[in-house]
Every structure is written in C-alpha cells, then in structure tokens.
C-alpha cells in the first residue's frame, strides 16, 4: 500500500542533462521522489537510467539542471558528496570483500570509532554498530560469517546495510537487486524494502522484471531515449491497463519469442553428448542438437546447469562420456581448446567470466578470435576490428554504440550484448547461452532471441536458464536438470508445466 506523502519531496530534479561527446545521454529530465516511497525507474537498455543514477550517486557530474534535497540545491562531485547529503546507491553487482565478515564489509573504511591516522580497527565497536543497524532494519542474517559463505540475497542485504550505515541516508538507490535472486530470496528482499519504506527511507528501484513493479512499487517513471516519458502511480497504471513493456519501447510488442521450427528434431545432428558424467555433480547426461533448432535446458540453482555449460566449454572437468561436434569426437580440456574446436560460451556471470571490464568494447568483442583479429606478426587489425565491432554493435543494438568506452561503464544489459557480440565475432559451430537475458530489458530480449534463432540456422544453439518461461518460449526442444540428473530427453511436446515440475521436483509427472 502506498504511503502518505509530504508536500515537500525528499528529492526534486529539474532539467537534468548529460552528454558524452556526440551522444545525448540525458535531456532535460524532471523527477521527484517523495518521503517513504518506492519509485521504480524503468526503460530499455540505453534509455538513460544508468546515467541518471550515476549522476544522483555522484559517479558522474551533471552538465545542466538542478538537484534539490528537501528543497535545498545540492551539487555532487563524488559519491562521498552524495552520501554526505543523504543519497546512497547499491549497484547491480555490489563490490564486497569475500574474505571479510558481513559486519566488516558494512563498516569498511569506518573500522574505528575515531577517524584519522591513529584510528584502530575496533571489531567490538563494529559488532555493536551492526547490532544497532539490525535493530533499525530487522532482517535474519548472521553478520559474523564471511561474505564468501553468504547466499546471494544475504550479500545483497549486506550491501544495503553498508549503504545505510550512515544515519543521514534518506534516499537509497537499488540497481537490479533481484536479477539473480530466486523467488524465495526475492521475498526476503521485498520484506526489507517494505520495512525501509515504513521507516521513511525513499527508494529508487531499477528493474527489468516488470512483474515486480506492480508487486512492490508505489510510483513508476519511464525513460526512453534519455528523456522522461511519464510518471504515474501503480494504481493508475492498473486502472488504465498500461502495458509497461510497450510504454518503455514506444511500440507494440507482439511477439517476444521468434516462431519455433515446425520440424524440430528433423535436421542433421550438429552436436551430441553421450553418457556425460562429472562425479558428484552430473550423471549420465545425453542429448543432441540439430541444425536449425534451439535446445533449451531448464534448471534451478544447484541443478548442475552452470557446471554442465562449463564441462561442455572445457572449463570444468575432466568429465566422463563422449561429445561430438560436426561429426568429430571432441574432448576440450580448457576454454582455449573449446574455442579452437568451435565452441563458444556466453556465461551466466558476464562480469567475471565473460568480459574484461577495464577494456573497451572493441577489445572485448574481438577477444575470442585473436587469429581473426590480428594479422602478420600478431599485430591487431585495428581498422578492420573497429569496422567489424561497429557492425556487431548495431546487430546487438548496443546503446550508446561507444566502441572506445570501458565495458564497466555500460549497463548490465549492454554488457550482455557485448558478450553476445564477442560470440558472433568468434564464429563458432556451437553456442551455449547461460542465463542469456539477466538484466536485459524486454525489447533487447526480443532482439537477442531473434539473434539466437538466426544463429541456429548455421550453428548448434543451446540455451540454459533458470527462467522456465524463457526456456520453453524460445526453444524447439527442451529438457530439465534436477540435482545433476537429466529429466527426460529433449522434446518438442513437453508443456511449460511439466518442464517446471521436472526442474523443481525431478519428475515430468
């Protein structure tokens, strides 16, 4: 239920603008945030959301416009400035130190009661302050455990408590906090968000999971092309029957998934797996992928989905069993051997496994095929690589299409597009997509799905995901993994309900 609001908004932004060279990232954006509300910020990748929150959290400086906190004009030159004025952000991938405990992470940089050179680490004080935080924002978590041992939602909670460790915080920015959470973990986070709202903290909530908007949000604002398109309450959106996806896109979205093949399973076998075993993880996996089709594998956390993808890519193993690609028996022992054999993996964790974040887009897109990217004496073909990267950026709808920009500066959805572009440049015979649309907006999802369908015409394509709707909607034939066991053979006839049951309970019935 929406909270009563005060006459004076906590945050008022007027005519905010930001430009990166020739690209107008934000243009004259107006925005208000009331006390004790959860306000969703929606838009496709490249709509301006990331630039907006980076200005608001002090990472970028604005070119034009005004920012007011409680009616007083402020100017942020750094994240420290933003925090000093009561604005804190939790990024999509919180930077926590795995070897430190939860409370040590919360007070990182504030380990002692006193500040300055002679300040000492006072763990007893940190524990007391952590207990005081938990008294303000009650949540079940053991902050004495190392962060590396915590679940995904527990790490998210640590990051939120870290942001709220300064008592002056009035505005909390949450960027895609549920992108990697299960439904149970999402409920834990939503209960915390509701408590924060009740305590008077205002939340700006960025998400691509549109079903969550109607569940937890009070108001929503839609960005498109660097401009604010509309702001409305959730009640008004419901009453008017607003389709959020179409509002974000500015066009009707008739078909998210491309049409399936009518003759699924009839083409020649391009890739096959027989009796694949990884002791304690995978048992007797056997399936094939035929030209022109997409084979989907559904599985939850702990199903062996991630391990299967890495066995096929030579990153985990050795495994027992046989693999054949294009009529050849293969046994890749490393990712390098897998690439040499024509296998490309779009990993589930793009930041640590798919990208070199400090390097530019053009570097990342051409990294997986250095033979193609370089010429005599191993020198990079910079002009040719740049032209190829520009074409790939257009194909995957990278926005803004800045080839020299560090990948770390792009939104999560755009980072995913760069990984896909990297795979296209590699020119593989087998593409394995793991959680391919995490953090990707609905419009970009549709385009990526179309791209996968196009790839299937000339290569084998496997999609592995914990999103049952995605696997069932996109794939020609599907099966599930449950605790390392394959449930059923790839089938075009399995219903969504049976596929879901197979992945959750280990049975098709």
Residue 446 DSSP SS3: helix
Distance between CA atoms of residues 47 and 463, nearest Å:
27
Residue 111 to residue 187: CA distance in whole angstroms: 31
- List 11's β-bridge partners, or say none: 33, 69
Same domain, 16 and 135: no
- DSSP H/E element including 430: strand 430-434
Note whether residue 387 is domain-resident. Answer: no
Spatial separation of the C-alpha atoms in residues 344 and 341, rounded to whole Å: 9
Q: Tens place of pLDDT for every residue, the chain, 509 residues?
A: 555 544 689 999 999 999 988 888 999 999 999 999 999 999 887 788 989 999 999 999 999 999 999 999 999 999 999 999 999 999 877 889 999 999 999 998 776 655 555 556 778 888 998 999 888 888 889 999 999 999 888 999 999 999 999 889 999 999 988 877 777 788 889 999 999 999 999 999 998 888 889 899 999 999 988 999 999 999 999 898 888 878 887 766 567 788 887 776 677 899 999 999 999 999 999 999 998 899 999 998 789 999 999 999 999 988 899 999 998 999 999 999 999 999 999 998 888 888 999 999 999 999 888 788 887 767 778 888 899 999 999 888 888 888 999 998 887 778 888 998 998 888 889 999 999 887 777 777 888 898 899 888 888 899 999 888 899 999 999 999 999 999 999 999 999 889 988 998 888 76
Q: Do 174 and 249 lie in a common domain?
A: yes
Tally of domains in the chain = 3
Among residues 254, 289, 319, the one where a domain terminates is 254
Q: Does residue 356 contact residue 407 with C-beta atoms inside 8 Å?
A: yes
Q: Do 67 and 191 have their domain in common?
A: yes
Q: What is the pLDDT of residues 279-311, one digit of tens each?
A: 999 999 999 999 889 999 999 878 999 999 999
Give residue 258's Cα distance to chain centre. Answer: 22
DSSP label at residue 256: S
Q: What is the domain extent for residue 30? A: 1-86+169-254
- Residue 424 placed within a domain: no
Q: Tell me, yes or no, whether 56 lies in a domain.
A: yes
**Do 239 and 313 share a structural domain?**
no
Which helix (H) or strand (E) segment holds residue 434: the answer is: strand 430-434
Claim to verify: residue 243 and residue 131 sit in the same structural domain: no
- Answer left, alpha or beta for residue 397, where phi above 0 means left and psi between -120 and 50 means alpha: left
- Phi and psi, residue 36, nearest 5°: 65, 40
Under DSSP, the state recorded for 314 is T
- Helices 152-163 and 183-198 pack at an angle, to 10 degrees, of 20
Tell whether 289 is covered by a domain.
yes
Of 395, 459, 412, 397, the closest CA to residue 432 belongs to 459
Q: Measured on CA atoms in the order 247, 221, 173, 355, is the torsion positive or negative?
A: positive
Pick from 256, 204, 218, 190: nearest CA to 441:
256
CATH of residue 469's domain is: 3.40.50.300
CB atoms within 10 A of CB 347: 21
**For residues 299 and 471, is the Cβ–Cβ distance under 8 A?**
no
Q: What residue spans of 227-304 are helical by DSSP H?
A: 234-240, 244-249
Q: Could you tell me which of 269, 120, 300, 93 has the C-alpha nearest to residue 177?
A: 93
- Structure tokens, 488: 């059923």
Same domain, 61 and 128: no
Packed helices 123-136 and 152-163: angle between N→C axes, nearest 10 degrees: 100
| Same domain (yes/no): 158, 173 | no
Q: Characterize the bridge pairing of strands 430-434 and 460-465.
A: parallel
Asked whether residue 13 falls in the same domain as residue 157, the answer is: no
Report residue 261 as tokens: 């093949």
Report if residue 508 sits inside a domain.
yes
Output the pTM of the full model: 0.68
Tokens of 206: 């960025």
Structure confidence at residue 348 (pLDDT): 84
Instruction: Tell whether 200 and 224 lie within a shared domain.
Output: yes
Question: What gap in Å lies between CA 420 and CA 361, rounded to an integer?
Answer: 12
Domain end point (choices 254, 287, 308):
254
**Domain boundary, last residue among 145, 167, 189:** 167
Give the tokens for residue 263. Answer: 């003759």
Q: Supply 262's token pair.
A: 């009518």
Verify that 321 and 307 share a domain, yes or no.
Answer: yes
Residues whose CB is less than 8 angstroms from the CB of residue 338 and which lie 6 or more positions away in sequence, other chains included: 312, 313, 314, 315, 332, 344, 345
Rounded to a whole number of angstroms, the CA Rg of the chain reads 24
Residue 316 lies in a domain: yes
47 lies in the same domain as 32 = yes
325 and 194 within one domain: no
Confirm whether 123 is domain-assigned.
yes
User: For 143-159, how does the pLDDT look when each residue is reduced to its tens digit (9 = 90+)?
Assistant: 999 999 998 889 999 99
Task: Confirm whether 375 is domain-assigned.
Answer: no
């Amino acid at each position: 239920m929406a909270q009563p609001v005060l006459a004076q908004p906590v945050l008022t932004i007027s005519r905010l603008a930001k430009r990166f060279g020739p690209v107008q990232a934000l243009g004259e954006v107006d925005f208000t945030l009331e006390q004790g509300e959860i306000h969703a910020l929606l838009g496709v990748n490249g709509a301006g959301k990331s630039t907006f929150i980076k200005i608001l959290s002090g990472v970028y400086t604005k070119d034009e416009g005004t920012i007011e906190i409680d009616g007083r004009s402020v100017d942020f030159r750094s994240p420290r400035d933003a925090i000093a004025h009561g604005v804190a952000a939790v990024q999509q991938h919180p930077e926590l130190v795995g070897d430190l405990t939860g409370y040590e992470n919360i007070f990182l940089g504030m380990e002692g009661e006193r500040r300055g050179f002679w300040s000492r680490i006072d763990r007893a004080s940190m524990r007391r302050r952590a207990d005081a935080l938990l008294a303000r924002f009650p949540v079940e978590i053991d902050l004495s455990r190392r962060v590396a041992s915590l679940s995904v939602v527990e790490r998210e909670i640590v990051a939120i408590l870290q942001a709220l460790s300064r008592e002056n915080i009035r505005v909390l920015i949450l960027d895609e906090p549920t992108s990697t959470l299960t439904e149970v973990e999402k409920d834990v986070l939503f209960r915390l968000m509701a408590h924060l709202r009740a305590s008077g903290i205002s939340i700006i909530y960025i998400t691509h999971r549109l079903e969550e908007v109607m569940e937890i949000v009070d108001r929503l604002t839609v960005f498109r092309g660097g401009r604010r398109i509309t702001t409305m309450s959730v009640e008004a959106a419901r009453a008017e029957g607003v389709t959020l996806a179409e509002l974000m896109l500015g066009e009707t979205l008739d078909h998210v998934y491309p049409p399936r093949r009518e003759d699924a399973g009839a083409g020649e076998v391009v890739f096959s797996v027989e009796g694949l075993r990884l002791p304690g993880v995978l048992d007797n996996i056997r399936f094939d992928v035929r030209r022109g089709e997409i084979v989907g594998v559904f599985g939850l956390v702990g199903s062996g989905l991630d391990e299967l993808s890495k066995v096929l890519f030579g990153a985990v193993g050795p495994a027992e069993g046989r693999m054949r690609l294009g009529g050849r028996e293969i046994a890749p022992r490393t990712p390098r051997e897998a690439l040499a054999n024509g296998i490309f993996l779009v990993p589930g964790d793009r930041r640590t496994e798919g990208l070199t974040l400090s390097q530019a887009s053009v570097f990342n897109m051409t990294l997986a095929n250095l033979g193609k990217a370089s010429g005599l004496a191993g020198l990079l073909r910079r002009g040719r690589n740049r032209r190829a990267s520009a074409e790939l950026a257009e194909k995957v709808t990278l926005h803004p299409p800045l080839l020299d920009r560090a990948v770390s500066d792009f939104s999560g959805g755009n980072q995913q597009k760069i990984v896909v572009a990297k795979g296209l440049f590699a020119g593989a015979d087998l593409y394995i997509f793991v959680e391919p649309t995490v953090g990707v907006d609905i419009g970009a999802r549709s385009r990526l799905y179309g791209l996968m369908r196009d790839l299937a015409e000339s290569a084998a394509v496997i999609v592995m995901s914990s999103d049952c709707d995605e696997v069932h909607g996109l794939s020609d034939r599907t099966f599930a993994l449950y605790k390392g066991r394959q449930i059923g053979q790839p089938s075009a006839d399995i219903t969504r309900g049976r596929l879901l049951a197979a992945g959750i309970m280990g049975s098709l019935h």
